Amino acid sequence: MTKITAPDGTPLSPLCFGAMQFGGTADEAASQGMYDACRAAGVTFFDTAHVYTGGTSETFLGRFVRDERDSLIIATKASYTGGAGRDNILTSLDESRSRMGLDTVDVLYMHRWDGGTPLEETFGTLAGLKDRGTIRHIAVSNYAAWQVMKAQAVAATFDLRIEMMQPMYSLVKRQAEVEIFPMAQDQDIDIVPYSPLGGGLLTGKYASGDTGRLSTDDRYAARYGQDWMHRAAVDLSALASEAGMHPATLAVAWAMRHPAVTAPIISARSAAQLAPSLAALSVTLDDDLYARTTALSPTPPPATDRLEEA
């Protein structure tokens, strides 16, 4: 169970809202609507990043949380651009806090691995920020399991530890099950996976001819471009219909069900689009439905590739 709470002790919710679309595909009114829908559903955990929408994401989120800040967990990320050196971390975090109007950030992620900066510099900087109360918890995003363990060893020399991480995880992206999830469970690291809807693929909208990131962003088209992924999305829609729920609800509930997962990150462009993901909060998959959903995609082999031991 996570040890991370809001400043006033409010628990972390089982879903996290990702504000990546604030100020991008979602204008301020749509962003406010999604924030309000999350709060009405009991979401207490909100995620953004220094690079999202040129800073507008952080600005909007800071504005929305102002009146109830101490009962929420606010996470942002640094070092997607510019590296994980001391100056870049301090400069970007100061800008992030200014945008959000926050003295303290609850969770600060290193947005991605930086092999060019000594880990001692990165985690020494983070230790200083935590000691000063500028950040409360340390996290990483997009790290491989070996990178987390290498960083964790260095963090320990500063009496610091990585407490949370963000890997990609969905029914069609299950690589995290191989090494990241077992490592996180062993190290007591919270898993907050992003893209549980597979870039929107698992909502069923592409099979019905709608457009979205997969049709407008080459990166997402490549990430989810394999035929078996699209077949899995079609099969998921059929199974969700049989179970009486939206495919997005089943996809998010499936990600929530894994014992290593703390809180999947959900997002959308509007409150209406967000509603099926939020509905997963009221769904508990039984063993049969979880197994049938899991069977729609290939289970990745164990890290040793000894299939007889799987």
Q: What is the C-alpha to C-alpha distance for residues 110 and 143, in angstroms, rounded to an integer?
A: 9
Q: What is the C-alpha to C-alpha distance for residues 156 and 162, in angstroms, rounded to an integer?
A: 9
DSSP string for 201-239: GGGTTTTTT--SHHHH-HHHHHHT--HHHHHHHHHHHHH
CATH number at residue 154: 3.20.20.100
Does residue 262 form part of some domain?
no
Would strands 135-141 and 105-110 be described as parallel, antiparallel, or unpaired?
A: parallel
Does residue 226 form part of some domain?
no
Q: In what order do the strands lie in the sheet with 162-166?
A: 190-191, 162-166, 135-141, 105-110, 73-78, 45-47, 16-18, 265-266
Q: Residue 310: what residue type?
A: A
Best CA proximity match to 112, nearest among 60, 170, 173, 51: 51
Domain containing residue 149: 1-166
In the chain, how many domains are there? Answer: 1
pLDDT in tens, 147-180: 999 999 999 999 999 999 999 999 999 999 999 9
Q: What is the C-alpha to C-alpha distance for residues 310 and 304, in angstroms, rounded to an integer?
A: 10
Does residue 273 form part of some domain?
no
Does residue 194 form part of some domain?
no
Token look-up 């942002």 returns 76
Radius of gyration of the chain (CA): 19
Does residue 297 form part of some domain?
no
- If you average pLDDT over residues 126-155, what whole number do you get? 98
The length of the chain, given as a count of residues: 310
The predicted model scores a pTM of 0.95
pLDDT in tens, 249-298: 999 999 999 999 999 999 999 999 999 999 999 999 999 999 999 999 99
Q: Residue 152: what residue type?
A: Q
- If you average pLDDT over residues 189-214, what whole number do you get? 87
| Percent of the chain scoring above 70 in pLDDT | 99
- If you average pLDDT over residues 135-143, what whole number do you get? 98
- Choose the weakest-confidence range: 3-7, 70-74, 171-175, 302-306: 302-306
pLDDT band at 208 (very low <50, low <70, confident <90, very high): confident
The whole-chain average pLDDT of the chain stands at 95
Using the predicted structure, report yes or no on whether residue 225 has a pLDDT greater than 90: no
Which ranges constitute the DSSP H helices of the chain? 28-41, 56-65, 86-100, 119-131, 145-156, 180-187, 213-216, 218-223, 227-243, 247-257, 271-278, 287-294
Does residue 138 form part of some domain?
yes
Does residue 115 form part of some domain?
yes
Does residue 188 form part of some domain?
no
pLDDT in tens, 18-66: 999 999 999 999 999 999 999 999 999 999 999 999 999 999 999 999 9
Token look-up 């997607």 returns 80
The CA-atom distances, in angstroms, between 234 and each of 172, 191, 206, 208, 281 are 12, 27, 9, 10, 23
Using the predicted structure, report yes or no on whether residue 1 has a pLDDT greater than 70: no
